[in-house]
Amino acid sequence: MTDIILFNRCGVKRNTVPSVQRDCFRGQNSPMPAPYLTAAFYLFVTLPDFEARRAPLLALCEQHQVKGLILLAHEGINSTIAGAADDVRAVLAYLRADPLLSCLQHKESWSDKPPFHRMKVRLKKEIVTMNRPGISPTHRAGTYVKPADWNALIANPDVVVVDTRNDYEVEIGSFAHAINPKLKTFAELPAWLDANPQLAGTSPSNKKPKVAMFCTGGIRCEKSTAYLRAQGFEEVFHLEGGILKYLETVPAEQSLWQGECFVFDERVSVGHGLVPGPHALCRACRQPLEEGASESALFEAGVSCPRCHGITSEAQKSGARERQRQWERAKTRQVQQEDL
């Protein structure tokens, strides 16, 4: 078996492992079953001028009527945007024209309805918040494992499999036998990793175990595996392209995934083939509604659900009611215009 040298997205040498190859690709164009293209992408790369990038990028998105969210930070870019296919691809082409972003990858999916209603470009300290200075995936991270090789890795009883997502995401789906750290936010993960006995060395040499980590699209695993590498873990792996790439490429009959995958847009959840799932969203806490939640006395559309009713003030609920009324009026006007 020939060893293959891995490179990160823009050519920096990474780990060398057998039978795993890191390709620098730009996202394959999937068929067009619906009018709205969603593109999800991120890249850890030093952007010293990230603040100056905000205004022209926002202007371009608005010119093309592309909606969604782009995060910019010194450590890189993280985004999900949606719109007409040509417009979304125009934004991607603009980004890749920059030498620093020339190897930007994206994942595509399609929907019948607009996944987003507004366009925001925000400046952040981190594109995924860990609050651990010095952790940089561009310098050190885990080994990528392609979706086709993932099942064999996590079926190994010597591998500790960790779901790095928040608890409400894990609630609706995860890989069989994966550990759920029950996180409220990703920033809680380092403390959990430090305290978890399953990650302590158990052999006479106190060698740390093999660890496989996964998340929605891959970005959180870039940082979580970088953190473990910084703590002395040598055999750390993460799912290339995240759960979404796995669900897109691995046939359902071969899959070890159970349930649905939560996504941060109007689709709420997706299953195999990235087909939108059955879940609805609480527009107050932006989390999936639990089964039977809409029948609860604590549920009010756009205002609260049983999960968040007790943690929001009356002032917050009042503001949410007004936003809901405005949204309903706008929706009614849109329907009336379409009927003309």
**Catalytic residue list:** 215
Helix/strand/coil (H/E/C) assignment for every residue in 273-324: HHCECCCCECCCCCCECCCCHHHCCCCECCCECCCCHHHCCHHHHHHHHHHH
Query: CA dist 332 to 8, 224, 326, Å?
Result: 48, 44, 10
Instruction: Give the HSE-up count for residue 32: Cα atoms under 13 Å, Cβ half-sphere.
Output: 7
Task: Please state at what angle helix 242-249 crosses helix 147-154, rounded to 10 degrees.
Answer: 100
Q: Which two tokens stand for residue 105?
A: 């990858």
**Beta carbons of 81 and 70 less than 8 angstroms apart:** yes
Handedness of CA 46, 40, 264, 141 (dihedral sign): negative
Phi, psi of 269 (to 5 degrees): -150, 155
